[in-house]
Amino acid sequence: MSALLTLVFIAILIAGFYRSIVFASGTGGIRLPSFHPERGTLYFVVALGVVSILVSYTTVNTGYVGVVTRFGNVTRSLDPGLHFIIPFVEAVHPVNTQTQTAKPDELAASHDLQVVHTQVTLAFHIDPQYAGYVYTQLNDEATQKVVVPAILEAIKARTAQYDAQQLISERAAVRDGIEDFVRQRLQPYHIIAENVSITDFNFSEEYNKSIEAKVTAAQLAEKAQNDLTRIRIEAEQKVTQAKAEAEALEIQKAAVTPELIQLRTIEMMDKHWNGQLPSVVVGQSGGALSTIDVLSAAHLKGGRD
- Residue at 232 is within a domain: yes
104 and 199 belong to one structural domain: yes
Which of 2-11, 139-148, 162-171, 213-222 is modeled with the greatest confidence? 139-148
Burial class (CB in 10 A: 0-12, 13-18, 19+), 214: exposed
| Whether residue 197 is found in the same domain as residue 105 | yes
pLDDT at 164 over 70: yes
Please count the structural domains in the chain.
3
pLDDT at residue number 123: 95
Q: Do the domain assignments include residue 76?
A: no
- Give the residue from 163, 179, 203 where a domain finishes: 203
Residue 193's beta-bridge partner residues?
A: 124
Supply the CATH number for residue 186's domain: 3.30.479.30
Same domain as 258, residue 195: no
241 CB neighbour count, 10 Å cutoff: 10
**Domain identity same for 180 and 226:** no
Given 203, 236, 253, the domain boundary residue is: 203
Is residue 286, in this structure, part of any structural domain at all? Answer: no
pLDDT at position 1:
55
Q: Is the residue at 95 inside a domain?
A: no
Higher pLDDT, 37 or 76: 76
**165 and 232 both lie in a single domain:** no
| DSSP state for residue 289 in the 8-state scheme | E
Residue 114 shares a structural domain with residue 192: yes
pLDDT of residue 13: 72
pLDDT one-digit tens code per residue, 87-121? 888 889 999 999 999 999 888 888 888 888 889 99
Predicted confidence (pLDDT) at residue 22 exceeds the cutoff of 80: no
Same domain, residue pair 190 and 119: yes
74 is a domain residue: no
Please provide residue 95's backbone torsions phi and psi, each rounded to the nearest 5 degrees.
-115, 125
The percentage of residues in the chain with a pLDDT greater than 70, rounded to a whole number, is 74
**Shared domain check, 36 and 5:** yes
Backbone angles phi, psi at 161, to 5 degrees: -90, -5
Average pLDDT on 229-257 reads 78
**What range defines the domain where residue 43 resides?**
1-58
pLDDT digits (tens, 9 = 90+) for 177-198: 999 999 999 999 999 999 999 8
Amino acid at 234: E
Q: Clarify whether residues 181 and 243 are in a common domain.
A: no
Same domain? 222 vs 178: no
Task: Specify if 209 maps to a domain.
Answer: no
Is residue 144 very low, low, confident or very high in pLDDT (cuts 50, 70, 90)? very high
135 and 174 part of one domain: yes
Residues 131 and 182 in one domain: yes
User: Is residue 87, in this structure, part of any structural domain at all?
Assistant: no
Q: Is the model's pLDDT at 24 over the cut of 70?
A: no
User: Rounded to whole angstroms, how far apart are CA atoms 154 and 148?
Assistant: 10
Alpha helix positions (H), the chain: 2-20, 41-56, 131-138, 142, 148-159, 164-169, 171-186, 205-255, 258-272, 291-304
Asked if residue 304 belongs to a domain, the reply is no
The mean predicted confidence, pLDDT, of the chain is 79
